[in-house]
């Protein structure tokens, strides 16, 4: 059957819609209604800033998907649900949150089916939560395990004539090692090995339970399924069926004992569907002047998003190397907006961040302390709340994590880059002149003296002590000897160590908080709030002006595009945040940053 792996499976995006349409026409309203949910790419954590005006379109947020799947379980008119994965790239924490929603729908009596053209570890893990996992006939299945790559750049920097003079506080921190070593230290190696063990166990766990397999049986299946087709995967017990997309309706008719009527209104996203006549100048002016809603109109909960590297000042949707950052000023302004809205009864801080500026992390923590005095503040961790991200998390009253969320990295890194070698290669002569006793401490040339390094380490130690004091204040009884010094943990382990309170996604945190504050019916508002079109244009123009080089055909910076092309999407997505944090050392001398160059394949 492996010869089928060489065949290209071509299915147009209209095939399922056409099949659904013909079914509804032929069978009228006398069949089983099956809801359809399509997931494309990686679901966003928060709505687009213009979603209030244009709607979420074909890219609903993770929360919208989770809520929609959960509501399907309560819909008496539905007998089942099909989740179609269209080139979906789901992290394990997203799989866990979607899986919890699938369990909820199944508990409501719904049969849940998952269909995909090809399946890797994420698709197979999600499929294990469903009643049936299907792959396109002839489609590929790959489940070799987890492979992790770390990039160590000390030799690269040396070749370029650069030297990273970085000091870390916390033996297991490791964030400096990417730039100062050619291989991991024993402490970092121990740290990352146990983390990978936990991530691998969490990947296998739902498959073992959902597929009713023993460890030995799953090992045997993975040994053969490093590269398989759908038929082989069915034989190995990793799938339930291989189904051609064109025959999906007929396949479901058997499972539901009769005719099938497709329902494509399962996903109900908040936001408008405003479509102005852009040929009318007055309509265009109306769009530019239209303002997004700023206040809650009835009892509500707020979701405050900490998504990206933490920086001082304003948040950015994408910088020089792509990716987003979360600015302390932006978040503090959002906190003030939340505090001033009496209809908002509670707040969930949703964190997916590797950390960043120590000062910005403290400023945001202070803001949460101020907010807690007026409203309950809980925390939901997505993929990561590490270093500065965890610093912020301990400001909440209660922390929810997914099993595979990464938390911790309580440690500090700081320093500078000595550029003597690069200057020499470029034949650049640098003459330094100082006024003041420590003016040249962060000079670009020359190594630190022992006295200077001791001064930097002393300041970083003070920051570390403040960090650990915030953790101890927020997590009563925590044993810092087992959790600090840069150690990283998955969410399930973090709970046993007192670093978090409960396993659950954003939906669980919102639901539990609503019950805590006595809300049975409520809206959920995202902060920082939506932007007007005028504000969006201003932001885009500002980024355009500072961009070093923009490819007019793609609209992305040439540097970012070239690096992505060279490294590939997976490696680039991992390195961009780490490099952005590294560049923060130009402005911030001490950062709370967790390593991001961890590529899991």
Q: Please check the confidence at residue 32 and state whether its pLDDT lies above 90.
A: no
* pLDDT for 203: 93
Cα end-to-end span (Å), the chain: 25
The encoded tokens of residue 477 equal: 């009884």
- Domain residue limits at 364: 300-425+442-530+547-600
Answer yes or no: is 212 within a domain: no
Share of the chain above pLDDT 90, in %: 48
Assess whether 372 and 471 both reside in one domain: yes
Assess whether 240 and 332 both reside in one domain: no
* pLDDT for 301: 96
* pLDDT for 422: 87
Q: How far is CA 293 from CA 182, 467, 529, in A?
A: 52, 37, 9
Backbone angles phi, psi at 351, to 5 degrees: -115, 130
Contact 74, 107 (CB under 8 A): no
Q: Where are the beta strands (DSSP E) in 123-248?
A: 132-136, 140-141, 148-150, 163-169, 228-229, 241-243
Query: Which residues have a Cβ under 8 Å from the Cβ of 258 and sit 6 or more positions away?
Result: 31, 32
* pLDDT for 266: 83
Q: Please check the confidence at residue 47 and state whether its pLDDT lies above 90.
A: no
Q: How far is CA 187 from CA 177, 192, 194, 199, 356, in A?
A: 11, 9, 11, 19, 22
Contact 273, 44 (CB under 8 A): no
Answer yes or no: is 304 within a domain: yes
pTM listed for this prediction: 0.79
Query: Which residues have a Cβ under 8 Å from the Cβ of 178 and sit 6 or more positions away?
Result: 150, 151, 152, 153, 578, 595, 597
* pLDDT for 600: 45
Residue 109: half-sphere exposure toward Cβ, Cα within 13 Å: 6
Assess whether 396 and 516 both reside in one domain: yes
The residue among 234, 263, 292 that closes a domain is: 263
Q: Please check the confidence at residue 552 and state whether its pLDDT lies above 50.
A: no
Answer yes or no: is 500 within a domain: yes
Q: What's the structural domain count of the chain?
A: 2
* pLDDT for 536: 53
CA atoms of 384 and 356, how far apart (whole Å): 13
- Is pLDDT larger for residue 538 or for residue 515? 515
Tokens 């403040």 label which residue?
A: 466
The residue among 245, 263, 281 that closes a domain is: 263
Assess whether 257 and 315 both reside in one domain: no
Q: Please check the confidence at residue 506 and state whether its pLDDT lies above 70.
A: yes
Q: Please check the confidence at residue 39 and state whether its pLDDT lies above 60.
A: yes
**2-11, 53-62, 322-331, 405-414: least confidently modelled range:** 2-11
CA atoms of 281 and 557, how far apart (whole Å): 31
Query: Which residues have a Cβ under 8 Å from the Cβ of 412 and sit 6 or more positions away?
Result: 168, 169, 170, 173, 358, 460, 461, 463, 464, 467, 590, 591, 592
What single DSSP character describes residue 171?
T
Assess whether 248 and 360 both reside in one domain: no
The encoded tokens of residue 384 equal: 């990561």
How does strand 260-263 pair with strand 32-40?
A: parallel
Assess whether 234 and 366 both reside in one domain: no
The encoded tokens of residue 484 equal: 């600090």
Per-residue pLDDT reduced to its tens digit, 437-482: 888 888 888 888 899 889 888 988 999 999 999 999 999 999 999 9
- Give the three-class secondary structure for 255: helix
- Please list the helix, strand and coil fractions of the chain in percent, rounded to the nearest 5, in that order: 45, 20, 35
Q: How confident is the model at residue 189 (pLDDT cuts 50, 70, 90)?
A: very high
* pLDDT for 323: 57
Q: How confident is the model at residue 573 (pLDDT cuts 50, 70, 90)?
A: low
CA atoms of 533 and 322, how far apart (whole Å): 22
Q: Please check the confidence at residue 104 and state whether its pLDDT lies above 60.
A: yes
Per-residue pLDDT reduced to its tens digit, 121-174: 999 999 999 999 999 998 999 998 888 878 888 999 899 898 888 888 888 888
Assess whether 259 and 364 both reside in one domain: no
* pLDDT for 289: 58
Per-residue pLDDT reduced to its tens digit, 256-291: 888 889 988 887 655 544 455 556 665 555 555 566
Q: Please check the confidence at residue 28 and state whether its pLDDT lies above 50.
A: no
Torsion-angle region of residue 561: left (phi > 0), alpha (psi -120 to 50) or beta? alpha
CA atoms of 580 and 565, how far apart (whole Å): 18
Assess whether 401 and 454 both reside in one domain: yes
Assess whether 251 and 319 both reside in one domain: no
The kind and range of the H/E element at 218 are: helix 215-224
Among the listed residues 132, 139, 144, the one whose alpha carbon sits nearest the alpha carbon of residue 239: 132
Answer yes or no: is 287 within a domain: no
Tokens 């498959």 label which residue?
A: 207
CA atoms of 108 and 78, how far apart (whole Å): 10
* Mean pLDDT of the region 293-320: 83
Torsion-angle region of residue 38: left (phi > 0), alpha (psi -120 to 50) or beta? beta
* pLDDT for 51: 53
Averaged confidence pLDDT in the chain: 81
Q: Please check the confidence at residue 106 and state whether its pLDDT lies above 90.
A: yes
Answer yes or no: is 285 within a domain: no
Radius of gyration of the chain (CA): 26
Angle between helix axes 569-583 and 558-567 (nearest 10 degrees) is 130
* Mean pLDDT of the region 9-26: 38
* pLDDT for 580: 58
Q: Please check the confidence at residue 15 and state whether its pLDDT lies above 80.
A: no
Answer yes or no: is 8 within a domain: yes
* pLDDT for 534: 53
* pLDDT for 108: 87
The encoded tokens of residue 205 equal: 């766990």
Q: Count the neighbouring beta carbons within 10 Å of the beta carbon of residue 430.
A: 12
Contact 185, 152 (CB under 8 A): no
* Mean pLDDT of the region 347-370: 94
Residue 528: asked if its preceding bond is cis (omega within 30°), the reply is yes
Answer yes or no: is 240 within a domain: yes
Answer yes or no: is 278 within a domain: no
Assess whether 372 and 318 both reside in one domain: yes
CA dihedral (264, 269, 275, 276) in degrees, to 10, reads 170
Assess whether 259 and 345 both reside in one domain: no
Q: How far is CA 114 from CA 58, 125, 406, 578, in A?
A: 18, 11, 27, 35
Residue 515: half-sphere exposure toward Cβ, Cα within 13 Å: 5
**What CATH number does residue 131 fall under?**
3.90.226.10
Backbone angles phi, psi at 361, to 5 degrees: -65, -45
Residue 536: half-sphere exposure toward Cβ, Cα within 13 Å: 17
* pLDDT for 368: 97
* pLDDT for 560: 52
Torsion-angle region of residue 472: left (phi > 0), alpha (psi -120 to 50) or beta? alpha
The encoded tokens of residue 87 equal: 């080139």
Query: Which residues have a Cβ under 8 Å from the Cβ of 462 and sit 6 or more positions away?
Result: none
> Sign of the CA dihedral 42, 47, 49, 55?
positive
Assess whether 319 and 412 both reside in one domain: yes
* pLDDT for 569: 55
Q: How confident is the model at residue 179 (pLDDT cuts 50, 70, 90)?
A: confident
Per-residue pLDDT reduced to its tens digit, 385-420: 999 999 999 999 999 999 999 999 999 888 888 888
Contact 247, 138 (CB under 8 A): no
The residue among 240, 263, 286 that closes a domain is: 263
């Amino acid at each position: 059957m492996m010869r089928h792996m060489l065949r290209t499976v071509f299915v147009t995006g209209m095939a399922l819609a056409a099949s659904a349409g013909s079914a509804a026409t032929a069978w009228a309203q006398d069949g089983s209604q099956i809801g359809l949910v399509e997931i494309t790419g990686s679901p966003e954590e928060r709505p687009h800033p213009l979603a209030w005006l244009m709607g979420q379109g074909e890219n609903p947020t993770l929360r919208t998907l989770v809520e929609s799947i959960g509501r399907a379980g309560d819909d008496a008119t539905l007998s089942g649900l099909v989740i179609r994965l269209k080139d979906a790239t789901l992290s394990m924490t997203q799989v866990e949150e979607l899986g919890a929603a699938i369990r909820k729908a199944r508990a409501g009596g719904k049969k849940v089916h998952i269909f995909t053209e090809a399946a890797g570890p994420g698709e197979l893990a999600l499929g294990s939560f469903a009643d049936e996992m299907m792959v396109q006939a002839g489609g590929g299945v790959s489940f070799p395990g987890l492979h992790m790559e770390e990039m160590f750049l000390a030799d690269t920097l040396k070749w370029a004539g650069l030297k990273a003079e970085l000091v870390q506080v916390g033996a297991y921190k490791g964030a400096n090692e990417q730039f100062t070593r050619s291989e991991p230290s024993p402490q970092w190696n121990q740290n990352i090995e146990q983390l990978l063990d936990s991530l691998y166990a969490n990947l296998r766990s739902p498959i073992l339970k959902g597929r009713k397999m023993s460890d030995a049986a799953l090992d045997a299946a993975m040994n053969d399924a490093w590269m398989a087709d759908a038929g082989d995967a069915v034989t190995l017990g990793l799938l339930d069926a291989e189904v051609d997309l064109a025959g999906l309706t007929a396949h479901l008719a058997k499972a539901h004992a009769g005719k099938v009527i497709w329902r494509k209104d399962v996903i109900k996203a908040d936001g408008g569907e405003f479509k102005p006549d852009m040929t009318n100048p007055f309509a265009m002016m109306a769009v530019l002047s239209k303002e997004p809603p700023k206040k809650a109109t009835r009892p509500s909960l707020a979701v405050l998003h900490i998504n990206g590297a933490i920086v001082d000042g304003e948040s950015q949707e994408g910088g020089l190397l792509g990716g987003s950052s979360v600015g302390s000023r932006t978040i503090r302004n959002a906190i003030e907006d939340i505090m001033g809205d009496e209809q908002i009864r509670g707040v969930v801080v949703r964190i997916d961040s590797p950390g960043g500026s120590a000062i910005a992390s403290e400023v945001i923590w202070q803001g949460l302390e101020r907010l807690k005095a007026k409203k309950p503040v809980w925390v939901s961790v997505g993929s990561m709340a590490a270093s500065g991200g965890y610093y912020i998390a301990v400001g909440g009253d209660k922390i929810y994590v997914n099993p595979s969320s990464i938390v911790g990295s309580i440690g500090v890194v700081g320093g500078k880059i000595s550029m003597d070698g690069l200057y020499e290669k470029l034949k650049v002569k640098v003459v330094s002149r100082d006024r003041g006793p420590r003016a040249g401490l962060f000079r670009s040339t020359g190594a630190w003296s022992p006295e200077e390094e001791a001064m930097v380490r002393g300041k970083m130690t003070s920051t570390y002590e403040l960090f650990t004091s915030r953790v101890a204040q927020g997590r009563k009884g925590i044993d810092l000897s087992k959790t600090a010094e840069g150690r990283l943990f998955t969410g399930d382990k973090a709970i046993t160590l007192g670093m978090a309170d409960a396993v659950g996604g954003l939906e669980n945190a919102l639901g539990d908080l609503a019950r805590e504050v006595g809300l049975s019916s409520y809206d959920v508002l995202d902060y920082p709030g939506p932007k007007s079109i005028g504000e969006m244009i201003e932001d885009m123009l500002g980024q355009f002006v500072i961009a070093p080089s923009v490819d007019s055909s793609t609209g992305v910076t040439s540097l970012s595009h070239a690096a992505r092309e060279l490294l590939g999407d997976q490696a680039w997505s991992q390195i961009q945040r780490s490099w952005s944090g590294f560049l923060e050392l130009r402005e911030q001398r001490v950062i709370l940053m967790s390593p991001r160059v961890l590529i899991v394949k």
